[in-house]
């Protein structure tokens, strides 16, 4: 199943919901530090409920460590950024792909979205009059599209 990566997330309930998403879809969740919270905070536990034991969560110390893991794994990375020329539905996802999302307040830094270890940038379409989607909701849309393409296996 596809891998979901949150780069320096700030809001504990979003990460808790991503843990629940990973548990229910079989996606592997990668968190890139620094995190804006402690993983044992009550709000993360509450949002993730008892799913943390059912999800595979990998925490990377920083962007460099995550990039090293990506290179070693030979994974394709699709960075989700506003205004990317490719829609998330136009990518044929494979089991080993990584769907990379940025932090809630600022998204992915340009140096991460444009890094040489990022395969491409993709966007979730939305109304131009609105600013953004909730991180956990955007991640769920993308993970379910990748899973759908794999026949929900």
Q: Which residues pair with 28 in a beta bridge?
A: 3, 56
Tell me which residue of 134, 148, 141, 61 sits closest to 102, measured CA to CA: 134
- Between the alpha carbon of residue 91 and those of residues 15, 69, 120, 122, the distances in Å are 25, 22, 10, 8
Q: Among 34, 32, 54, 41, which residue's Cα sits nearest to residue 12?
A: 41
Binding residues for S-adenosyl-L-methionine: 102, 124, 132
Percent helix, strand and coil across the chain, each to the nearest 5? 40, 20, 40
Which residues fall in the annotated binding site?
A: 102, 124, 132
Query: How many residues are present in the chain?
Result: 153
């Amino acid at each position: 199943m596809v891998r979901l990566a949150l780069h320096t997330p700030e809001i504990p309930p979003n990460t808790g919901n991503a843990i629940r998403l990973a548990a229910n879809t079989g996606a592997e969740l990668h968190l890139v530090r620094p995190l804006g919270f402690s993983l044992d905070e009550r709000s993360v536990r509450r949002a993730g409920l008892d799913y943390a034991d059912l999800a595979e969560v990998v925490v990377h110390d920083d962007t460099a460590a995550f990039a090293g893991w990506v290179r070693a794994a030979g994974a394709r990375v699709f960075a989700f950024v506003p205004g990317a020329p490719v829609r998330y539905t136009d990518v044929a996802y494979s089991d080993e792909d990584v769907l990379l999302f940025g932090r809630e307040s600022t998204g992915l830094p340009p140096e991460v979205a444009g890094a040489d270890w990022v395969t491409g940038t993709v966007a979730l379409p939305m109304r131009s009059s609105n600013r953004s989607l909730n991180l956990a909701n955007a991640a769920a849309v993308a993970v379910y599209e990748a899973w759908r393409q794999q026949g929900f296996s």
